[in-house]
Amino acid sequence: MTDTDLTMAPAASATSAFIPAPATPYQGDIARYWDHEARPVNLRLGDVDGLYHHHYGIGDVDHAALGDTADSAYEKKLIAELHRLESAQADVLLDHLGRMGHTDLLVDAGCGRGGSSVMAHQRFGCKVEGVTLSAKQAEFANRRARELGIEDSVRARVCNMLDMPFETGQAAGSWNNESSMYVDLHDLMAEHSRVLAVGGRYVTITGCWNPRYGQPSKWVSQINAHFECNIHSRREYMRAMADNRLVPQAVIDLTPETLPYWELRATSSLVTGIEEAFINSYKDGSFQYVLIAADRV
Ligand SMILES: C[S@@+](CC[C@H](N)C(=O)[O-])C[C@H]1O[C@@H](n2cnc3c(N)ncnc32)[C@H](O)[C@@H]1O
Ligand SMILES: CC(C)=CCC/C(C)=C/COP(=O)(O)OP(=O)(O)O
Ligand SMILES: [Mg+2]
């Protein structure tokens, strides 16, 4: 089988047969970071329904569903609520892909444990190819796909999203769900532009620093240090897309919609210590949570 053959290889061989060397020392660090990540805030939320996300949530908190904080079941309900908001975020990303056919190929660039890939397949019925730097994440995602009996349609591979194993124009849709802050944006948009068919759709949900603030704030620097990433500005996204035949069709500021998630998360037992940086930077206007959907022209 060639790398670009769309027939899915058995999931185990897809990840264990060949693990490419990282393209840069930085990518090696990021692969190790995600290979070792096991934060309860991610695993316990994923355990709610088997969709494992590494992104944040949007939407209003359902206080009626949470009930009384004194209730012994409150923490369990809180975890379910945070997870519901994270899945709602992925749903909004998928909404912006538009209509996809059963025979289309979708590319989940920086797929993590594969939650968004599974949701995309469940919604559109088409093949979804995920790429991640982490062999552990790819194994996890492929195991979930096998457990769900969708391994012929959903697959994760260890590879660099700046050099993806897809033919030019092969994908009808592609996305980055909170994964674009690990790469040069011009290189990333050039690669999405290459793999997308003309008329295809690219969507990203990302945190970006706000050019109106001036420069990355101390909170943004703290988030970068926490995750070993490099948050770009909103301006850089626009420029990188414009330079690569990706024409924004929708730009949505999701900041007001993500704040309830963070404020709820800050009250939970699963806090990681980064909540204050997100809340403060969203509130002081230095950081924004945005969705950008673009047409490949
Ligand atoms: C915060 S997680 C997001 C995971 C997933 N998109 C989600 O929403 O659950 C970031 C992901 O980006 C991936 N990543 C970072 N740099 C990458 C690169 N150059 N190529 C492929 N994946 C990359 C990491 O391996 C990780 O899976
Ligand atoms: C919006 C920005 C700047 C995102 C940075 C990328 C990132 C680490 C996302 C969440 O991952 P996670 O779900 O593993 O993080 P956590 O453990 O905090 O939930
Ligand atoms: Mg998380």
Q: Is 96 in the pocket of ligand 2 (CB under 6 A)?
A: no
Range(s) of the domain holding residue 84? 37-296
Q: Please tell me the distance from the alpha carbon of residue 139 to that of residue 163, in angstroms, as a whole number.
A: 20
Asked if 255 and 282 count as a contact pair (C-beta separation under 8 A), the reply is yes
5 occurs within a structural domain: no
Asked if 206 and 181 count as a contact pair (C-beta separation under 8 A), the reply is yes
Residue pLDDT, tens place only, 63-72 = 999 999 999 9
Regarding pTM above 0.90, the answer is: yes
44 occurs within a structural domain: yes
What pLDDT sits at residue 18?
79
Q: Is 44 in the pocket of ligand 2 (CB under 6 A)?
A: no
8 occurs within a structural domain: no
**CATH number assigned to the domain comprising residue 119:** 3.40.50.150
Tell how far CA 251 is from the center of its chain.
17
Q: Which of 115, 155, 160 is nearest to 139 (CA)?
A: 155
178 occurs within a structural domain: yes
30 occurs within a structural domain: no
132 occurs within a structural domain: yes
CA of 206 to the centre of ligand 3 (A): 14
What pLDDT sits at residue 144?
98
Mean of the per-residue pLDDT values of the chain = 95
Q: Is 134 in the pocket of ligand 1 (CB under 6 A)?
A: yes
What pLDDT sits at residue 15?
44
Asked if 233 and 295 count as a contact pair (C-beta separation under 8 A), the reply is no
The CA-based dihedral angle spanning residues 226, 232, 233, 238, taken in that order and rounded to the nearest 10 degrees: -150
Q: Is 83 in the pocket of ligand 2 (CB under 6 A)?
A: no
What pLDDT sits at residue 13?
43
Q: Show the low-confidence residues of the chain (pLDDT under 70).
A: 1-17
Please list all protein residues whose beta carbon sits less than 5 angstroms from ligand 3, which is an ion. Answer: 42
Give the number of whichever ligand sits closest to the CA of residue 112. Answer: 1
What pLDDT sits at residue 6?
47
18 occurs within a structural domain: no
Residue pLDDT, tens place only, 96-114 = 999 999 999 999 999 999 9
32 occurs within a structural domain: no
Asked if 144 and 114 count as a contact pair (C-beta separation under 8 A), the reply is yes
| Domain tally, the chain | 1
Q: Is 117 in the pocket of ligand 1 (CB under 6 A)?
A: no
Phi, psi of 37 (to 5 degrees): -75, 130
| Nearest atom of ligand 1 to the alpha carbon of 31 | 25
